[in-house]
A = this chain, B = another copy of it.
Amino acid sequence: VGYLDDTPVVLIDLDAVDRNIARMQEGASAKGFRLRPHIKTHKLPFIAHRQLAAGAVGICCQKLGEAEVMAAAGIRDIFVTFPIVGRPKWQRAARLASEISLSVAADSLPSVQGLSDALAEGSEIGVLVDCDIARWRTGVASPEDALELAQAVESLPGLRFSGLTTHPLPEEAIEWFAQARSLFDAAGIEIPAISRGGTPEAAEATPIEGVPSELRVGTYVYGDRALLGAGIMPLEDCAMRIHATVVSTPAPERAILDAGSKTLTSDLADGLTDGLFGEIVGYPEPRIEMLSEEHGHVDLSARPGAFEVGQAVEILPNHACGVTNLHSTVTLHRSGVPVGPIEVAARGRIR
């Protein structure tokens, strides 16, 4: 994209985005999943609307603040996949629920009790009970605990039990959910949906039989070095690139870029062990081996003198979601044809 010469800048190829949206939607629909993309990757209402137009049933947000931005942009069905804890958040959730169809994940009684207390007459929030099947993050520990929390939800004014949710979905989940279904059946509670997340396993995912299944995926929309490295997305579909400039070549085996951890994050690429901070597209040998805050340190040992001051480079980032959250704007294009800059409206909405 030669029209951009002030760097560093984050470029998003809308053609690649559209391909990624279409492919994921087709795959999900073909298998009987309802697709609910996670907007944490792009934080752009513009792209969320494209995901909905392609057939998504709604969106996911990680934090309430993201959901508030998306609701203000006209999105009507949002699942906040994060525990809502504390009076300010219960009140914000209640306000949001009076405007849109809101559901949230929950794994504790205080969280759902607080939500119910904050809700105004006539408002409703859907609650998906978060299940800690992979034993790594949030969620209730057992199918018995899931039932207990679902029963509490059902008993609380304004709350509607909306299903079970987990991330990721390990093999033992099949057995876990089978047990849960027996328990819920015996208790006379229907499980309205099972929701699962994660781009890396989306291609292999199949719905749990007999229950409406939702698929939550985020990173597929942009792709990154982690997904490329895992063989899940080809380079040409990786829509996010950082254009940077070589600003110094202090030694033949070292070049310095104007993109450091404040541009690329310090995130490593999930699943890769090379310890690099991104890939310079078209240059397999130069290695981004270290970042200062504003400097990218490139090891040119394998190609001494390969870069010169002023040269433009294009970086495939390790982790698209982290990069999105650093930048107030990104610049859209279509296969190199400029579209223009756009504000990352939900950037930094961590509350």
Contact = CB atoms under 8 A, between A and B. Distances in A.
Contact of A325 (B8, B249, B262): B262
Interface in A130-170: 130, 132, 135-141
A304 to B, nearest CB: 14
A120 to B, nearest CB: 20
A265 B325 CA distance: 10
A40 B260 CA distance: 13
A82 interface: yes
Interface string A321-342: 1100111100000000000000
Interface stretch (A21-29, A70-78, A94-102, A288-296): A288-296
Main secondary structure of the interface of A (DSSP, over half): loop
Nearest to A10: B350
Given A6-B89, A7-B86, A326-B325, A261 B265 contact: yes
A21 B110 CA distance: 43
A50 interface: no
A310 interface: yes
A265 B265 contact: yes
B328 A108 contact: no
Output the residue of A86, A87, A139, A262 with the most chain B CB within 10 A: A262
Contacts of A138: 247-248, 250, 256, 295
A285 interface: no
26 contacts: A6-B86, A6-B88, A6-B89, A63-B294, A82-B247, A82-B258, A82-B294, A82-B295, A83-B258, A83-B309, A85-B246, A107-B248, A107-B250, A108-B249, A135-B251, A137-B256, A138-B247, A138-B248, A141-B250, A141-B251, A266-B266, A293-B322, A294-B350, A326-B348, A327-B348, A328-B347
Interface of A: 5-9, 40, 62-63, 82-83, 85-89, 107-108, 110-111, 130, 132, 135-141, 245-251, 256, 258-259, 261-263, 265-268, 292-295, 297, 309-310, 321-322, 325-328, 347-348, 350-351
